[in-house]
Amino acid sequence: MNSTPNTFPRIQLELPQWITDFLQQQPTTFPTLETRMDFVTTLSKLNIEQGTGGPFGASVFRADTHQLIAPGVNLVLLSKNSLAHAEVMAIMLAQQILGDHDLGAAGLPPQELVTSCEPCAMCLGAICWSGVRHLVCGARGSDAETIGFDEGPKPQNWTAHLEERGISVTLDIGRPNATQVLRNYVEQGGEVYNSRQGPIETPG
Q: How far is the CB of 14 from its own copies (least distance, A)?
A: 5
Shortest distance in whole angstroms from residue 142 CB to its own copies? 17
Give whichever of 28 and 107 is closer to its own copies, judged by the CB atom.
28
CA angle 30, 66, 142 (to 5 degrees): 75
What backbone torsions phi and psi does residue 48 show, to the nearest 5 degrees? Answer: -70, -50
Active site residue 87: yes
Q: Smallest distance from the beta carbon of 131 to its own copies, in angstroms?
A: 6
Whole-number minimum distance, CB 49 to its own copies, in Å?
20
CB 179 within 8 A of CB 143: yes
Closer Cβ to its own copies, 129 or 188, answer by number: 129
Task: Tell me whether residue 48 or residue 69 sits nearer to its own copies (CB atom).
Answer: 69
Q: Give the three-class secondary structure for 62.
A: strand
Provide the 10 A C-beta neighbour count for residue 62.
17
Q: Which of residues 87 and 143 has its CB atom nearest to its own copies in the complex?
A: 87
Task: Choose, from 87, 112, 118, 151, the residue flagged as catalytic.
Answer: 87
Q: Is the CB of residue 60 less than 8 Å from the CB of residue 86?
A: no
List active site positions.
Answer: 87
